[in-house]
């Protein structure tokens, strides 16, 4: 009863641009879609079910995006390192990855198995459960704070965000590594060495007049074949 009264009295305006206010309504929309999805019989209305799942994933992306902005603002120096992301294939690194990871964590926590990845799924399940619990704690803390003071980040909330950020980074690396081939540190180091070699080759070729700056600026096709050969020489 008290919570409902506080929600009615202190609920932020939908037009408020502050992060906690934006989170409050994004999370509320996510909960509404989740409730409708839970009550729907997908066998009777598969089209509506497909639409709601797509909407649900979009809401998850939005909630995580705002949480990420909140972490950048209130714990900028304590963010979990994500240098490992450079090892991911290009097709994996997109804006919807975070939402897919959340969805994957919930599926694993509920007992699902990643297709053809049974051992990896079993190994990641404890982490997935801990991550989903941590995310629920963060969502609860942010909702509560949005009803108290939009301008304040409490230490309890900061600690919950730090814990979630570490777990999410760990799960991101584990999940993506299970789904697609990820370069080992040695492979990534070799790739970086080749990049440096090609850069030095271009600089040396310019000094000796083998190439012109116009060829580089115009992405001359012959140049693309010349650089590896010059590097070998």
Grade residue 179 by pLDDT with cuts at 50, 70 and 90.
Answer: confident
Nearest to 163 by CA among 77, 65, 78: 78
Grade residue 135 by pLDDT with cuts at 50, 70 and 90.
Answer: very high
For residue 9, pLDDT beyond 60: no
Do 216 and 160 share a domain, yes or no?
no
For residue 56, pLDDT beyond 80: yes
Do 204 and 90 share a domain, yes or no?
no
Do 10 and 73 share a domain, yes or no?
yes
Of 24-28, 138-142, 146-150, 160-164, minimum mean pLDDT range = 146-150
d(CA 212, CA 205): 8
**Cβ atoms of residues 52 and 33 within 8 Å:** yes
Do 6 and 86 share a domain, yes or no?
yes
Do 214 and 127 share a domain, yes or no?
no
For residue 161, pLDDT beyond 80: yes
The pLDDT score that the predictor gives to residue 143 is 92
Do 99 and 198 share a domain, yes or no?
no
What is the count of structural domains for the chain? 2
Do 223 and 164 share a domain, yes or no?
no
**Cβ atoms of residues 90 and 161 within 8 Å:** no
Do 39 and 69 share a domain, yes or no?
yes
Do 137 and 158 share a domain, yes or no?
yes
- What residue numbers bound the domain in which 57 lies? 1-182
SS3 of the chain: the string is CHHHHHHHHHCCCCCCCCHHHHHHHHHHHHHHHHHHHHHCCCCCCHHHHHHHHHHHHHHHHHHHHHHHHHHHHHCHHHCCCCHHHHHCCHHHCCCCHHHHHHHHHHHHHCCCCCCCCHHHHHHHHHHHHHHHHHHHHHHHHHHHHHCCCCCCCCHHHHHHHHHHHHHHHHHHHHHHHHHCCCCCHHHHHHHHHHHHHHHHHHHHHHHHCCCCHHHHHCCCHHHHHHHHHHHHC
Distance of CA 42 to the CA centre of its chain: 28
Do 105 and 199 share a domain, yes or no?
no
The pLDDT score that the predictor gives to residue 72 is 93
Output the six-digit token pair for 208: 């000796």
Do 15 and 84 share a domain, yes or no?
yes
Last residue of a domain, one of 159, 182, 205: 182
pTM for the whole thing?
A: 0.72
The pLDDT score that the predictor gives to residue 185 is 62
- Give me the percent of the chain exceeding a pLDDT of 90: 33
For residue 70, pLDDT beyond 90: yes
Grade residue 8 by pLDDT with cuts at 50, 70 and 90.
Answer: low
Do 123 and 21 share a domain, yes or no?
yes
């Amino acid at each position: 009863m008290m919570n409902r009264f506080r929600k009615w009295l202190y609920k932020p305006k939908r037009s408020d641009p502050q992060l906690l206010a934006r989170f409050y309504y994004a999370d509320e929309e996510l909960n509404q879609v989740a409730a409708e999805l839970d009550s729907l019989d997908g066998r009777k209305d598969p089209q509506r079910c497909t639409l709601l799942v797509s909407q649900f994933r979009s809401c998850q992306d939005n909630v995580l995006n705002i949480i990420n902005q909140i972490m950048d603002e209130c714990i900028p120096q304590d963010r979990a390192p994500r240098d490992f992301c450079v090892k991911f294939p290009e097709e994996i690194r997109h804006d919807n990855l975070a939402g897919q990871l959340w969805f994957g964590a919930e599926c694993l926590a509920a007992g699902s198995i990643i297709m053809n990845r049974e051992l990896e799924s079993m190994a990641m399940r404890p982490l997935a459960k801990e991550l989903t619990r941590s995310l629920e704690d963060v969502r609860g803390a942010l909702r509560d704070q949005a009803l108290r003071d939009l301008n304040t980040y409490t230490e309890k909330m900061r600690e919950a965000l730090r814990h979630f950020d570490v777990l999410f980074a760990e799960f991101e690396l584990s999940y993506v590594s299970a789904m697609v081939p990820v370069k080992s540190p040695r492979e990534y180091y070799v790739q970086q060495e080749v990049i440096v070699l090609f850069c030095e080759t271009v600089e040396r070729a310019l000094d000796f007049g083998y190439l012109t700056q116009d060829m580089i600026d115009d992405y001359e096709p012959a140049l693309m074949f010349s650089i590896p050969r010059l590097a070998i020489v």
